[in-house]
Structure 1
Amino acid sequence: MSPAPGAVAEVTSAERSLRQLELTINRKLDGLIHGDHQSLAVGPGSEGGEGRLYQPGDDVRRIDWNLTARSGAVHVRNTIAERELETWFVIDGSASLDYGTADHEKRDLAASVVGAFGFLVVRAGNRIGAVVYDGQGTRVVPPRAGRSAVLDLVLRLQRRDRTGGEAATLADAMRKVRLLARRRGLVVVVSDLLDTSDWPQELRALSARHDVVVAHLTDPREDELPAVGVLALVDPETGARREVQTSSKRFRERYAAAAAERRAGIDERLRRSRATRLQVSTDRDWLRDVVRHVASRRRRR
């Protein structure tokens, strides 16, 4: 049974946009991230590898006593140097990302940021994995290497696949990554941070072991409202609807004050977590923001 013409056109369009995204990222970011990751262990490494028979001159501290007992002969365990960087994404898939009043929706911004970081880290043979969460649960994408891993992940985000299961929060997704990412590496959190769970505590726990970047997705209308008369607003998370009179200067000032207080709270939580913040907005060139961030990392290192 052949696929419908509309489905073929949709897939072709998606592949074309992904190729364009990859070319744009590689052209503007080429060389910025190369050498950015340093070896996580000095010397022969600390992660267990294959076992072999003991030979005169081997370090007795590397004797694998369990394998020796099972085989009846003395074995040593080789170790693997931890030079491979494993990157995990924590990706917000909640309904609040279906919003954008400028050049993009926040969901499109999330897919682009994931693509940018993904294409950068897989070039050296590194692996990427992800935990995507929304109001229906979490979905784990196991770590894989290669550009196909990035393309598959970005395509899932563009299709807006739902996770299924029980409702999940940003804190739930961070906790899952903390348990899955056993080796030190890079964790990129991509979210608008409009979440009431205790994500700051989980973020601090992640930052204690990993290099964490928080890509904070924003839209200018989340900070201030224009004077356009009666405006109908719908909460994408709950579906609640409310009409407000934006011509009221007092109302706009109260809205801006509440938004400023929320921003200050997020800034303070991120500062305490020691994670690196990358702010991207629907009204700015997201790739330029990523370039600045990557270049800044290079200078600091």
Structure 2
Amino acid sequence: MISPAQTAVLARLHLQVTRRLDGLLQGDYLGLLPGPGSEAGESREYRAGDDVRRMDWPVTARTTVPHVRLTEADRELETWLAIDASASLDFGTARMRKWDVALAAAAAMTHLTVRGGNRAGALVCTGDGVRRIPARGGRRGAQSLMHAIAGLEMRPGRADLGELFDGLMRPPRRRGLVVIISDFLGDARSWQRPLSRLAVRHDILAVEIVDPRELELPAVGVIEVADPESGQVHEVDVTERLAGAYAAAAAEQRAEVSGTLRSAGAAHLRLSTDRDWLLDIVNFVAARRHRHNRRAEVR
């Protein structure tokens, strides 16, 4: 159950998402991640740049000319949200907490996908285990999903993203969309392989949630810092030298996350607690649609 205050927040969030997204992005089945679907269509001759994994070998053998199999956009899309709700997201030094941005991103992604018979479900890691919320369709299903996510309680402990990604492989599902929402703190090597396996079967969108103080620290002298996942508290003397080393280490860690996501073929969207998250989502989706349409015109 969620409190009346949380219910009011979700209602305002729904209105904000609906008004701005519907006004700026006209939804269709090219949708959130434009691209080919999984339903088999007609064949055509191979052109430079085509994905060789879509080669139509029977037609190629009959005609002795390389052909590729076209696909049609799926009319029913199943979207799964893989949400990191560990204690590290209960942090924010700008407009809001990282968890507030994560919840808003989940609402926006659900709104963009759960229409026209599409369904959405979620796997949420709260730091001490993974909670599965079954996929449902329609507006009521989307509202029920968001209420279930908002009602979960963060607990101490670090999210095991590898376990979260493996959970989306069981049971096997038809090709769909997986939206990962996390701050991706920790070692990327622990979830690189599970993500690559997941990306073989599904389209992946990774939404990275960051806060400015995670990227750099001001040289303000001695401060007290607490690890929300372990509860440990430390006093740190933030000198100019330490601040520079911290910024370099943070940039290296974020570059590792970006490289790991890119190597798995995942689309990558970064949202920050000090920016307009909804405008960033709109710009991201519009840019991807524009690139997709440009490629289609070239072909």
Task: Provide the TM-score with structure 1 as the length reference.
Answer: 0.78
Residue 153 of structure 1 pairs with residue 145 of structure 2: yes
Residue 186 of structure 1 pairs with residue 177 of structure 2: yes
For residues 292 and 104 of structure 1, the distance between their equivalents in structure 2, rounded to whole angstroms, comes to 21
Which ranges in structure 1 are unaligned for 5 or more consecutive residues? 1-6, 44-80
Give 3-state SS (helix, strand or coil) of 2:14's partner: helix
Which ranges in structure 2 are unaligned for 5 or more consecutive residues? 42-72, 293-299
Q: How does 1:95-174 map to 2 (within 5 A)?
A: 95-161=87-153, 169-174=160-165
For residues 96 and 152 of structure 2, the distance between their equivalents in structure 1, rounded to whole angstroms, comes to 15
How far does residue 82 in structure 1 lie from its aligned partner after superposition?
Answer: 5.3
How far does residue 122 in structure 1 lie from its aligned partner after superposition?
Answer: 1.2
Give 3-state SS (helix, strand or coil) of 1:141's partner: strand
Corresponding residue for residue 205 of structure 1: 197
State the AA in 1 paired with 2:15: L
Give 3-state SS (helix, strand or coil) of 1:129's partner: strand
Structure 1 contact 85–185 (Cα < 8 Å) conserved: yes
Corresponding residue for residue 41 of structure 1: 39
- After superposition, the Cα gap between the structure-2 partners of 1:39 and 1:267, relative to the gap in structure 1 and judged at 3 Å, is closer
Structure 2 contact 98–210 (Cα < 8 Å) conserved: yes
Structure 2 contact 102–181 (Cα < 8 Å) conserved: yes
Q: Deviations over 1:84-110 (max 9, x none)?
A: 000001000111001110011111111
Structure 2 contact 133–148 (Cα < 8 Å) conserved: no
Structure 1 contact 93–133 (Cα < 8 Å) conserved: yes
For residues 139 and 240 of structure 1, the distance between their equivalents in structure 2, rounded to whole angstroms, comes to 26
Which of 7, 17, 29 lines up with 2:21 in the alignment? Answer: 29
For residues 12 and 28 of structure 2, the distance between their equivalents in structure 1, rounded to whole angstroms, comes to 22
How far does residue 146 in structure 1 lie from its aligned partner after superposition?
Answer: 1.7
Corresponding residue for residue 283 of structure 2: 292
How far does residue 33 in structure 1 lie from its aligned partner after superposition?
Answer: 2.9
Which of 239, 242, 259 lines up with 2:231 in the alignment? Answer: 239
State the AA in 2 paired with 1:134: T
Corresponding residue for residue 272 of structure 1: 263
How far does residue 220 in structure 1 lie from its aligned partner after superposition?
Answer: 0.7
Give 3-state SS (helix, strand or coil) of 1:193's partner: coil
Structure 1 contact 215–279 (Cα < 8 Å) conserved: yes
How far does residue 230 in structure 1 lie from its aligned partner after superposition?
Answer: 1.4
Task: Provide the TM-score with structure 2 as the length reference.
Answer: 0.78
For residues 33 and 208 of structure 1, the distance between their equivalents in structure 2, rounded to whole angstroms, comes to 26
Structure 1 contact 224–252 (Cα < 8 Å) conserved: yes
Q: Deviations over 1:134-167 (max 9, x none)?
A: 3211011111012223223323333333589x98
Q: How does 1:44-55 map to 2 (within 5 A)?
A: none
How far does residue 24 in structure 1 lie from its aligned partner after superposition?
Answer: 1.4
Corresponding residue for residue 254 of structure 2: 263
**Worse overlay, 172-181 or 250-259:** 172-181
Structure 2 contact 102–182 (Cα < 8 Å) conserved: yes
Q: Deviation above 4 Å: which 4+ runs of structure 1?
A: none
- After superposition, the Cα gap between the structure-2 partners of 1:263 and 1:250, relative to the gap in structure 1 and judged at 3 Å, is same
State the AA in 1 paired with 2:287: S
- After superposition, the Cα gap between the structure-2 partners of 1:141 and 1:194, relative to the gap in structure 1 and judged at 3 Å, is same
**Worse overlay, 209-218 or 18-27:** 18-27
Structure 1 contact 138–163 (Cα < 8 Å) conserved: no
- After superposition, the Cα gap between the structure-2 partners of 1:200 and 1:148, relative to the gap in structure 1 and judged at 3 Å, is same
For residues 162 and 107 of structure 1, the distance between their equivalents in structure 2, rounded to whole angstroms, comes to 10
For residues 8 and 27 of structure 2, the distance between their equivalents in structure 1, rounded to whole angstroms, comes to 25
Instruction: Count residues with an aligned counterpart.
Output: 254
Structure 2 contact 29–75 (Cα < 8 Å) conserved: no
Q: Deviations over 1:220-260 (max 9, x none)?
A: 101110132211000111111111112x1111111111111
What's the % identity of the aligned pairs? 43
How far does residue 281 in structure 1 lie from its aligned partner after superposition?
Answer: 0.4
**Worse overlay, 175-184 or 237-246:** 175-184
Structure 1 contact 29–291 (Cα < 8 Å) conserved: yes
For residues 180 and 198 of structure 2, the distance between their equivalents in structure 1, rounded to whole angstroms, comes to 11
**Worse overlay, 154-163 or 237-246:** 154-163
For residues 33 and 222 of structure 1, the distance between their equivalents in structure 2, rounded to whole angstroms, comes to 34
For residues 277 and 192 of structure 2, the distance between their equivalents in structure 1, rounded to whole angstroms, comes to 25
For residues 11 and 235 of structure 1, the distance between their equivalents in structure 2, rounded to whole angstroms, comes to 27
Give 3-state SS (helix, strand or coil) of 1:154's partner: helix
